[in-house]
Structure 1
């Protein structure tokens, strides 16, 4: 009795549990653009861009924690180099799973507002963690 056997790779994909795009204005003439995702598997890829082009000078960090990935992409930009308004796009891709999601945000260059929108506690913690590097 002949038996045939086949094997095929199966990828178990886990979407992100948190995904944020934060624009953190720390000085009157600059903005920190921070994109962060937690809980994804397999390894994700984060890209920061404008609708017209990718951004230069983006730093990336990837950590594997308890079998899931945390990823951060960030860049500091000068207001003088940006149009008004400026649109930013963060795309999270998990290539092995053929999965992609994106976040978009609009930024208005200029001095720090005296009446800013209140960021969430999670936004402040993430901005502080990125700023302390």
Structure 2
């Protein structure tokens, strides 16, 4: 794959691959790119095959494109661990990059890694009820927990 851009093209300014576990047996895989021109193509795959049922959205904002590809998968359909690959291509610019992530199917961890604000916004934008609940619970419970710890320690 070549990373060559033409004078009329712009690489993406932000490119992410997110795994958002919505419950104990499903995962949303979300690939997003912002700030590209011309219009990028996103594909989601495993090393063995391209994923089926992927939904795509593309928006043009201020002369640059934002693209999202997402799919919800059942843990039972995935190997342990599973590797996801998102490829961003700008065919008119002969440009391609990719992101990879490893996913471990199974119950939601009791000590989850905190998602970034951008991850939460993106997951909410593609309709992830799990992240919305997690975001709401985190925003409400963490400040209350911090206050409780301060009271106990003082």
| Runs of 5+ consecutive residues of structure 2 not aligned to the other structure | 1-5, 130-154
**Which residue number corresponds to residue 12 of structure 1?**
8
Does the CA-based 8 Å contact 2:20-2:27 persist in structure 1? yes
Gap change, CA 1:62 and 1:87, over 3 Å in 2: same
Partner of 1:125: 121
- Cα offset, 1:11, TM superposition: 5.2
Q: Residue 67 of structure 2: which of 44, 54, 71 is its match? A: 71
Alignment coverage as a number of residue pairs: 124
Partner of 1:56: 52
Deviations 1:11-61 (A, max 9, x none): 511000110000000111000000000000011100000011000000000
Displacement, 1:125?
1.1
Identify, as 1 or 2, the structure richer in strand.
Answer: 1
Give unmatched runs, 5+ long, in structure 1.
1-9
Give yes or no for contact 1:11–1:96 (8 Å, CA) kept in 2.
no
2:20 counterpart of 1:21: no
The answer for the alignment partner of 1:97 in structure 2 is 93
**CA 1:75 to 1:12, structure 2 compared with 1: closer, same or farther past 3 Å?**
same
**TM-score after normalising by structure 2:** 0.78
Q: Tell me the residue number matched to 1:6.
A: none
Aligned to 2:38: 42
Secondary structure at 1:118 match in 2: coil
RMSD value, Cα = 1.4
- Please state which structure has a larger fraction of its residues in helix: 2
**Superposition misfits of 4+ residues, deviation over 4 angstroms:** none
- The whole-number CA distance in structure 2 between the counterparts of 1:101 and 1:132 is 26
